[in-house]
Structure 1
Amino acid sequence: MPEKFRRNAAGAFAIGALLASLLSPHARAGATPAAAAPSPMNSEMDAPLFYQLLVGEMELNTGQPGVAYQVLLDAARRTGDEALFQRVINIALQARAGDQALIAAKAWRESQPKSSAAHHMVIQLLALLNRPADAVEPLRSLLALTPEAQRSAVLEPLPGLFQRAPEPKRVLAALEPVLNNAAQEDATKLAAKTALARLAIAAGDSKRALALAQEIDGFAPLSDQPMQLALELLPQQSEAEALITQRLRAKPDNVALRLAYGRALARAQRPAEAAREFRAITLASPSTSSAWFALGTLELDLRHADAAEKALREYLRQLEDSKPAPANDQLKAEGEGEDKTDPQATNEARQQTWLLLAQAAEMRGDLKAADAWLLKVDLPQRQLEASFRRASLLARQGKLSEARQLLQALPETSPEELRAKLLAESQLLRDAQDWSAAHQVLATAVERFPNDPDLIYEQAMMAEKLDRLDAMEILLRKVIAIKPDHHHAYNALGYSLAERNVRLDEAKSLIAKALSFVPSEPFILDSMGWVEYRLGNLAEAQRLLRLSYAARPDAEIAAHLGEVLWIGGQREEAQRIWSEGALRDPKNEALRETVKRLKTQP
């Protein structure tokens, strides 16, 4: 069908729908269907109205939305028809004319002052246009129109309506009086306080939001709302965690909350604590397959290869036996919006698990088993990753040249694939401690992708390995200029200064900047502990390093904590920490150097 005929057909359909709406004897707002079959009635549409609707739709279909808007808005005002008002608003929105859409919505509200839909539309458009103060009056009016038992449904969506507002503090200030008033009523207290807390979070007032979450938990101890708020506040307000742990102590079998808490801990870069929560779920509810998957990925992160393999094999068994909802890299809860019977999703989850099992086998030194898992992977979107892993196995067997050839032979059908290939090759060389070759590959990558902050960051790390410290600092500052929130760059530069025991005040400032983006990241806490040690603040250094080691018992963090304990006279504990680190990563350079320098053995 030619395009012009398709447009005319679409216009005819729209006209037909409108005419059907207006021809219906019950189309007008407030009409009540008769109990018995109605007797024939004449349409309320007269000839001028029919012509007006026809002209409006024809103007729209000939590319004149402004004329169509004016014609149809006049018709909507004459008839008071809600469907026609909605049509006019849609025309304005499709033309990106927000102010005109609001004019139509206000006309709808004036025409039908008891229409909840008209009030909702006005509020939504005011939110879209970033006019929160103007939304107060229609919001009050809508609440007055709404039966008391249904008012919570009006309040709950408010934070979502204004989530893209450029000035969230203005939104909070405008809506707070309405919400405070609604909070006086028992029926709307929970919804009003929750909405207020979410607006406070958006406005950056996490302390106020935490106080509201604590208040809600006090008067609604069985509600999920304070727990959801606490989970959102976890990175900013450490006290929020107490709400969650208190609820879990009272209800240890609350699997949904424990899953959400574990995911929040993982996002906060606290893998050891996250693993603890998922481990508890597997004991209390062993059929919760997503917990097994999450536990396996976290155990891998913690370098617990045997524990990771056990958890992943159990997930794989449940996947094959009952086709559970596949869990993805974000540690999704079981059944969250996924089709448990979707064979494609199940196959994707299966292949992802094979890749992780290969990683666990490689970690414990069983390269043959790792290769066997990788050979099972056949999905195109996963084969690139499998090839990277196979190249790593070759390199570990001393076949570095063959590994590089495998990567270089992979297709480059997109810039993303080329970038991934170059990064993988540099990682191979980095693992083989061929710093110069890795630096050269990354220099080539940066030539191809000159403003890629992650590639420049990796190049800086190789410059440091080559003792090109001035070049490293230049590169890291370039990363920060390109991406001012690149916390790894701030941390790397600050740690490098602390490690060299130079410009310590600047080092502390850089690491503090990194922590402002990720307050609980264990490796950045480790950096801050190390700079405090260099500054002579042993007590603070020990406190920070203990926090870091508890969240991630990494060998390098063990080296730092052990040294601070050793210098502080706690030598028995220092030896224990070093021994734990050596068990996890016996080849760790930082740990081995620390032990050698302090003339002791773990």
Structure 2
Amino acid sequence: MNILHRTATVVLLSSAFGVGAQTVAPIAAESKGTPGTETALNSGLNAPLFYQLLLGELNVMAGEPGTGYSLILDAARKQKDPALYRRAVELALQARSGDAALTAARAWAQEIPGSSEANRFVLQILLALNRVAETAPVLQTLVQASPVIDRNDTINAIPQTYSRVADKSLAATVVREALAPSLKQPFHAAAAWTTIGRMELAQGQEQLALTAAREGHAVDPASPYPALLALELMEQGQADAETLVRQQLQAASTSTAADSAVALAYARILIDLQRNREARAQLETLTTRQPSQAEPWLLLGSLQTQENALPAATASLQKYMTLARQAGDERAARGLTQAYLLMAQIAEKQKDFPAANAWLDRIENADDIMAAQMRRASLLARQGQLPQARALLRGQPERRPEDVRLKLVAEAQLLRDFKAYAQAYEVYNEAANRFPDDTDLLYEQAMMAEKAGRLADMERLLRKLIAAKPDYHHAYNALGYSLAERNLRLPEAKQLIEKAVSLAPADAYIQDSLGWVEFRMGNNARALAILQAAYSKRPDPEIAAHLGEVLWVQGQRDQALKIWREGLLLAADNETLLGTLKRLQVKP
């Protein structure tokens, strides 16, 4: 070490520790934690101990972190000072010596038993060393030492802490053991069961996760934690989890942010499942109970726009924009962009094109300009200016690498919306050539080939996709369904769809395809059972078309008409449903 560097170090340490005084002020205790639990137990730092620390730091600077660590850890033990223990842990970690870091952290936790920071270091180091089985006692200590008011937050954070553990089964066992006391504490049991459920979900045990959620819900029916886990399970196809969500919403007053999060997330899932009437009811209840919460108004306005309830949508979006402007944060700014796009869409539906453009003019964020221009292109196309709409999209600057793809996809979708299928196919072909490794683009190109009547190209592209990505279940389903729809090679079609089912067993659309190929093969009873299950899982106009036809052929005509009417309420312009009704000469 050069003389100047050494002198500077001496000066800094002398200043910090007050060399020259008979008694030196101790190193400051941790600023966080319970007052008094981590203050230095020794009131003074004598000259020999100061020089021990100085020598330790000089060794670190000279490239001898091991020696420096030993000296500083010894000083920490003598002083029982958390700052010195922290420094020893840091030095060991910098030297990539996990065992040494663990030794220092454990010494710290032993000398200062109330130190949450020390125990957090012990837990994190054990996990980093993959000594997961040893973490249960320290995790339990951390949870039980946390303030009662914060303990549920501590419990809820556990799955993230263990997320990188490779042995998910061991992690779940350890966490369950650590939370045993919390399961007996009424205020914390719901959170504890939820965390246990999330650990089960992390290892793919959906049914065990649902069981844990039910246990937590039984302890505290109004707790949002089990309901939030149940929502995650719903998204993964566990339809039985919905009952728990409904029960929580009935038990809770939706007066807290967590309760509102349950209602809002449930509404989003209902929309994804195309159960729009139920979603709207949830959102109307939420906006009535908490009218000052902005996000539900935006979601309600979006849903009302989709349903062409334009005056109601306008009112909801106006309410959202007022609340969002008051919030003034980044999240609100993003939401305002969505609201402006929806208001432009409403004006477009009302054929008020100047008003639509005026709403789009309000969008200033560069990241959202493309979305605005896509809406402008739609406005032009609706006014009979499809070539100008395409030129508008083509002329957009490419600020980011992904903008090239985004522009091409936007153009293809515009052409598809206006039924220019052959041109849309060519644009997707251009995009697929530009991005040859993009399997999603290849799939979209294949679907557009079918729309354009290029069935041989569709089959070629889907087989190419299957060869490139054998687990791409959409490709198997699309090819199998296309064959079944045309009554071609039905055994092969069924085999393809069954492969898709094996890859995505919870997908209602794939179940629909399986039911449809069974119907085409004359297996009406099996087709009916499969389609009824698919429609129950996901009410959809296309599934309604198929289910209704099977019912109709089997003589259950009143039930068929009921299903078709429901399908028309979901989407009155669905091509498959309208085509089925026309072919069967039915007016439901």
Flag the 1:176–1:282 CA change in 2: closer, same or farther, 3 A.
closer
| 2:324–2:333 CA contact under 8 A, matched in 1 | no
Counterpart contact for 1:290–1:315, Cα < 8 Å: no
Q: 2:436 aligns with which of 438, 450, 472?
A: 450
Once the two structures are TM-superposed, the CA of residue 277 in structure 1 deviates from its matched residue by 1.6
Q: Which moved more, 1:266-275 or 1:125-134?
A: 266-275
User: Which of residues 390, 395, 402 in structure 1 aligns to 2:388?
Assistant: 402
Q: Which residue in the other structure is 2:300 paired with?
A: 295
The alignment status of 1:243 with 2:244, answered yes or no, reads yes
The answer to whether the 8 A contact 2:518-2:527 is kept is yes
Residues 34-433 of structure 1 correspond to what in structure 2 (within 5 A)?
A: 43-47=44-48, 49-58=49-58, 68-93=68-93, 97-112=97-112, 115-139=115-139, 157-180=157-180, 183-184=183-184, 189-190=189-190, 192-236=192-236, 237-251=238-252, 256=260, 257-266=262-271, 270-300=275-305, 303-307=306-310, 310-320=312-322, 324-325=323-324, 341-342=327-328, 346-363=332-349, 367=353, 369-433=355-419
> Bigger CA drift: 559-568 or 252-261?
252-261
Where 2:235 maps in the other structure, the secondary structure is coil
Query: Percent of counterpart pairs with the same letter?
Result: 41
Do residues 508 (structure 1) and 510 (structure 2) align?
no
Cα displacement string for residues 299-348 of structure 1 (whole angstroms, at most 9, x for unaligned residues): 44xx41225x623532323422xxx257xxxxxxxxxxxxx532665444
1:123–1:138 CA contact under 8 A, matched in 2: yes
CA distance in 2, matches of 1:28, 1:174: 32
Tell me the SS of whatever aligns to 1:305.
coil
Q: How far is 1:358 from its partner?
A: 2.3
**Aligned CA distance change for structure 1 residues 423 and 180 (closer, same or farther; 3 Å):** same
Shift of 1:391: 1.4
Matches of 1:265 and 1:31, distance apart in 2: 45
Post-superposition CA distance 1:564-589 (Å, at most 9, x none): 23222233454465466567766543
| Structure-1-length-normalised TM-score | 0.79
In the TM superposition, residue 207 of structure 1 has moved relative to its aligned partner by 2.0
Q: Report the more deviating stretch, 550-559 or 197-206.
A: 550-559
Identify the range of structure 1 (461-470 vs 166-175) with the bigger mean alpha-carbon deviation.
Answer: 461-470
Distance 1:12 1:341 in 2: 51
Q: Give the distance between the partners of 1:357 and 1:187, measured in 2 at CA.
A: 45
Note closer, same or farther for the CA distance 1:393–1:113 as it changes in structure 2 (3 Å cut).
Answer: closer
Please, which runs of 5 or more residues in structure 2 have no aligned partner? 37-41
Q: CA offsets per residue over residues 2-55 of structure 1, 9 Å max, x none?
A: xx9xx999989995897489954485899998xxxxxxx9832424x4344334
- Report the equivalent of 2:39: none
Long gaps (5+) in structure 1: 34-40, 327-339
Q: 1:560/1:368 Cα in 2 relative to 1: closer, same or farther (>3 Å)? A: farther
Q: Is the 8 A contact 2:27 2:83 kept in 1?
A: no
Residues 1:267 and 1:448: Cα distance change in structure 2 (over 3 Å): same
SS in 1 for 2:239: coil
Q: CA deviation at 1:75?
A: 3.7
CA gap 1:436/1:485 in 2 versus in 1, 3 angstroms? same
Higher relative contact order (CA 8 A, sep 6+): 1
Instruction: Determine the structure 2 residue equivalent to 1:559.
Output: 545
Equivalent of residue 460 in structure 1, options 423, 446, 458? 446
Cα 1:406–1:137, aligned 2, differ >3 Å: closer, same or farther?
Answer: closer
Question: Structure 2 CA distance, aligned partners of 1:544 and 1:315?
Answer: 40
Q: Evaluate the alpha carbon distance shift between residue 167 and residue 534 of structure 1 in structure 2; reply closer, same or farther with a 3 A threshold.
A: farther
> Residue type matched to 1:472 in 2?
M
CA distance change for structure 1 residues 557 and 399 in 2, over 3 Å: closer, same or farther?
Answer: farther
Q: 1:80 to 1:387 in 2, by over 3 A?
A: same
The reply to whether residue 590 of structure 1 matches residue 579 of structure 2 is no
The answer to which of 346-355 and 149-158 deviates more is 149-158
CA apart distance, 1:457: 1.6
